[in-house]
Amino acid sequence: MRQLTTLLLSLLALTAGAEQTDVVVVGGTPSGVAAAVAAARSGAKVVLIEESRHVGGILSGGLTNTDIRKTDAVGGLYVEFKRLVVEHYTKTYGANSPELKLCKDGNMFQPKVAEIVFRQLLTAEKNVRLIEGARVVEARTPSGQATPGRRLDGATPKAFSPKQKLTSVTFETSSGRTTIDAGAFIDATYEGDLAALAGADYRVGRESTADFKEKHAGKIYIRFGDSNPLPGSTGEADAGIQAFCFRFHLTKNPANQLPVEKPADFNRDDYKFLLADFRGGKLTRLNQAVQFYAMPGGNYEINSNHPSHETGVPSESLDLAEENYGWPEAGVAERARIFRRYWNYQEGLIWLLQNDPEVPEDIRKDAQQWGFPKDEFTDNRGRPHHIYVRQGRRIWGEHTVTENDAKFLETTGLPAHKPDGIAIAEYPFDSHAVSHFDPAYPLLRPGYFYVEHEPFQIPYRSLLPKTVDGLLVPVACSASHVGYQTIRMEPVFMALGEASGIAAAQAAAAEAELRAIDVPALQREILKRGGVILYEATAKRPAGL
C-alpha cells in the first residue's frame, strides 16, 4: 500500500511539473551543509536550498572563534571541517606559519576560509545539488498547501495542531518558482522557517520557571561569574529572546582597510550608557568596549563584550537587545529592516569610538587604527552578510530539551542516558542579554546567564515536530529557552545536521516515516562516521562512588 501511495504521489507531482529528489535540505547553515553531505554519503540524492548567495551561515558570516569547550564531545563532519581548515592554512602559509598556529587546530579561521571549506564539502558530493538565491515560499501535503504551524508559548499545551505530512516545497528565485517533491525534508534554518510553513507548532521567547521547573527560566538577573538569580528575578515568562549582533572583522593594515562610516541614521543616544562609562572614567581601554580575537591572515573578529562582574564595564556593547523580538516570525521586508538597524548600530558604535569627543583621546586614536578588511566580505564592502541569529523559533517536538536534561542522577553522578541520543550538548547554558541595560542592575545584563553543566545527550526525538511528518529540524529544534542555550553552538548544530542527513536518507530509502526509522542503526552509523553520542570523560562523581 505504501509503495502504491508513493507511486501515485510521484505521478501527481510529475504531472504538476514538480522535480523529484530523495532529500531536501533548506538552509545552507553549517547544520544544513552537514545534513546535505551526510545524506549524500548515505546514497541519497539531495537538494540544498539557500536563500542567500553564501553557504556556511554565521561561520562564513563572521563567527570564526568557535564556541566549544570539550572538543572531543563533537566529532564527525565538524572534525572533517576542522581538518580541511588546517589543510588550507598549511598549504597556503606553511606548516610552521603563524596562520596555522592561530587557527588552533581548525577552531579559528577567516570567514572566507569557512565558506571555501563548506563549498569544498558540498562539491565533493556528486549527489548534492546546491541552489542559491532561493527562498522557500510554500510547503505542501498530499491534499494541498500545508496549514502553517501555530505559536504556542509556555508549558506543554494540552492540544497541538492536526498532524500533516510534508511532501513537497516550492522555492522562488529571480527566474521563477520551482516545486520539489522528496521522501524527507530537513529544516536547517536558524529561524525554523520551513517547519512553521509546513505546520510545525513552535514557541518563541522565555518560559516561566513553573513551565518546566527550570531555575534559570523567565525574567532573571544574574551577575557574570555566578549562577544564582538576584532579587528582582521573578521567573515570569515573556516574549524575550537573547540579543543579536554581528560578528564582523576589522584590520589595522592600512593596505587592507576600508573606512568605518557614520550611518545615515546614527543616533548618539543609542550609546548613552557607554558614553556614561567614559565620563565616569570607568572605561579606559578600547578592548573593554568590544572584544578582539586575532585571526589567521591578520584580521580580528569583533564581538560584543560582557560587563565585568566587578565594575559593570561596559554597560552596553555590540549586543542590541529587544529590537530583535520580531525576527523569528518576520517576513523578508521586516527582517531586512531589523538587519539594517542592527548593522547601523554596530558600525555606529565603532564610528563613535573613533570620533566622539567624549571618548578619551587615546581610545579614539586606538580605534582610528581599525577599518573593515578589503579581503573579507568582498561583495559587501568588507561588511558581513549574516547577522548572528542566536535564537529563532523552537519547534514543539517529541522531546523538549530543558535545563533539567543536564541534572545528574544521584546513583551515578551523570546526566541520564537517552536511548535515542544522537549528539552531545557540552557548552554551558549561555544566554546573552534579553533586555536593554538597566541602571538598577549595574553589574549585569538583564536575561544573561552562563551556567556550567556536565555534557548530556540530545535525543533524536527533539528533532521531530509533533505536528509534521517527513521533516527533521536540527537547528530550531525542540527546547525551552534555557535548554536551547547549550544547543545553539555551531559544532552541535553540525552534529545534529549530520544525524538528520543520515536519518533522512534512511527514511527516504525505506519509504518510512522519520519518526519510525531504526534509531539504533542511525546511532551506529553516526559512530561509524566518527560522531559522538555519549561523552562522560569529565563527569563529577558523588562522594563514596
Report how far residue 498's alpha carbon sits from residue 143's, in angstroms, rounded to the nearest whole number: 31
**In contact, 433 and 320? CB cutoff 8 Å:** no
Q: Looking at the predicted structure, is the pLDDT value of residue 12 above 70?
A: no
> In 3-state terms, the chain is what percent helix, strand and coil (to 5)?
35, 20, 50
User: Quick one: which of 6, 44, 198 has its CA closest to 129?
Assistant: 44
Q: Tell me, letter by letter, the H, E, C secondary structure of 253-321.
A: CHHHEECCCCCCCCCHHHHHHHHHHHHCCCCCCHHHHEEEEECCCCCEEEEECCCCCCCCCCCCCCCEC
Confidence category of residue 410, pLDDT binned at 50, 70, 90: confident
pLDDT in tens, 145-201: 999 999 999 999 999 999 999 999 999 999 999 999 999 999 999 999 999 999 999
Q: Looking at the predicted structure, is the pLDDT value of residue 461 above 80?
A: yes
Domain boundaries, the chain: 2-206+390-528, 249-373
pLDDT in tens, 26-69: 999 999 999 999 999 999 999 999 999 999 999 999 999 999 99
- CA angle (301 as vertex; 93, 271 as ends), nearest 5: 160
Q: Looking at the predicted structure, is the pLDDT value of residue 102 above 90?
A: yes
> Average pLDDT, whole number, for the chain?
95
Q: What is the pTM of this model?
A: 0.95
- CB burial class (10 A; 0-12, 13-18, 19+) of residue 145? exposed
Whole-number CA gyration radius for the chain: 23
User: Quick one: which of 523, 530, 537 has its CA closest to 421?
Assistant: 523
- The 10 Å Cβ neighbour count of residue 72 is 14
Q: Which helix (H) or strand (E) holds 137?
A: strand 135-141
Strands (E), 309-393: 372-373
Query: What pLDDT shows up at residue 540?
Result: 53
Query: What pLDDT shows up at residue 2?
Result: 40
User: Quick one: which of 365, 484, 385, 345 has its CA closest to 427?
Assistant: 484
- The 10 Å Cβ neighbour count of residue 461 is 21
Rounded average pLDDT over 372-398:
98
β 300-304/249-250 pair status: antiparallel
- 265: left (phi > 0), else alpha (psi -120 to 50), else beta? alpha
- Single-letter amino acid code for the residue at 55: V
pLDDT in tens, 131-161: 999 999 999 999 999 999 999 999 999 999 9
Query: What pLDDT shows up at residue 538?
Result: 58
Report how far residue 91's alpha carbon sits from residue 93's, in angstroms, rounded to the nearest whole number: 6
**Distance linking the first and last C-alpha atoms of the chain:** 55
Q: Looking at the predicted structure, is the pLDDT value of residue 303 above 50?
A: yes
**In contact, 395 and 200? CB cutoff 8 Å:** yes
- CB burial class (10 A; 0-12, 13-18, 19+) of residue 285? exposed
% of the chain with per-residue pLDDT over 70: 95
Q: For domain 2-206+390-528, which CATH number applies: 3.50.50.60, 3.40.50.300, 3.40.920.10, 3.40.50.620? A: 3.50.50.60
User: Quick one: which of 62, 53, 111, 67 has its CA closest to 346?
Assistant: 62
SS3 380: coil
pLDDT in tens, 322-367: 999 999 999 999 999 999 999 999 999 999 999 999 999 999 999 9
pLDDT in tens, 516-535: 999 999 999 999 999 999 99
| C-alpha cell at position 369 | 587604527
